[in-house]
Amino acid sequence: VPEGAEADEILKLPVKNIVACSSTFVSLMRPLDLLDRVKGVTTPQEDWFIDEIKDGLGNGEVMFVGGGSMGEPDYELVQALNPDLVMVYTGAGGQFAHIAKFEELDISYVVINDYTENDPLARLEWVKFLAAIFNVEEKANSFFTEVEATINAVSKKVAGAKQPKIAWCQIYEGTVFTPKGGSYVAKQIAMAGGDYAFKDLEPDQVGSAQLTVEAYFAGAVDADIFIYDSMGLPWITNIPAIIELAPALAEINPIVQGNAWAFQPWYYQALDKTHEQIEDLAAIFYPEFYPDHQVRHYLWLPRE
């Protein structure tokens, strides 16, 4: 223990039993071959797309401890697992109630705030933080180097090409949430060679801005490609579903032209596939550069 360290700063290693309060955290453990350390999750079995976890929930090797839909878990179930560590997040909408209870119960936890980063690679670099906890730094460094190489190759391939204008959003109860100009999404679009329609919207801020449909329409009307962030239900599978959420968007160019896409349902369980997602975006933006590419993480939206 380092001199001067207080007791509440000490994490006992090795960590063999963890509870993950976000499926995103689990995806970061996949390239480190650590999925067998996951013993509890707050996402129910039917919502999993990581086979090892879905199967584990079915055979009892992994426990659903409650807390779906961003609620609190069943703390008695968490205690029963006697985890070495629980993974949580803070920030806007953070799991502060979880943290307070874990402190009360003397359950160790770590905070993983990948979603607050302003760069896709910075989000993915949290894999190195986990690697330090599990003593697999070499594996994390090797993985990260491969990811960087893939993204750099994509950016090099599309450099100098005429950039398509990209609109991106999520709609909830009549409000449009679109990534700010300083967000990791804006950077991801740029890495894939896109010109983000809202790049000047709070360019120094992360996260999403809330716009009226009318304000969003003004910025997206002449876009070339539209991408819908299907975070949670309903999963968007066609253009009419977009129009139902915001009828005015029927008139924006990418909807008229049928060049609209949405996240696949496993998108947020694939943070470790960030390089694939950026490569997919490049293939969507520049299909002529990727004639044989099969898009993996986005779904093209038919007109009906």
Sequence-ordered list of residues with C-beta below 8 angstroms from that of 258, at least 6 positions apart, any chain: 239, 301, 302, 303
pLDDT surpassing 70 at residue 207? yes
Element (DSSP H or E) covering residue 19 = strand 18-20
Q: Give tens-digit pLDDT for 279-296.
A: 999 999 999 999 999 999
Q: What is the mean pLDDT of residues 210-235?
A: 93
Pairwise CA distance, residues 131 & 136, whole Å = 5
Please give the share of the chain, as a percent, with pLDDT higher than 70: 95
φ/ψ of 173, rounded to 5, equals 50, 45
pLDDT band at 6 (very low <50, low <70, confident <90, very high): low
Q: How many CA atoms lie within 13 A of 203 on its CB side?
A: 5
Give residue 94's pLDDT. 78
Pairwise CA distance, residues 28 & 125, whole Å = 9
Pinpoint the alpha helices (H) of 64-162: 75-81, 96-104, 120-124, 126-134, 137-158
Range with the poorest average pLDDT among 201-205, 209-213, 229-233? 229-233
pLDDT surpassing 50 at residue 197? yes
pLDDT surpassing 60 at residue 214? yes
- Domains, in order of start, for the chain: 7-142 (3.40.50.1980), 162-300 (3.40.50.1980)
Give residue 1's pLDDT. 47
Give residue 79's pLDDT. 96
pTM greater than 0.75 (yes/no): yes
Nearest to 28 by CA among 173, 134, 181, 177: 134
Pairwise CA distance, residues 146 & 304, whole Å = 39
Q: Are the C-beta atoms of 87 and 25 separated by less than 8 Å?
A: yes
Give residue 91's pLDDT. 75
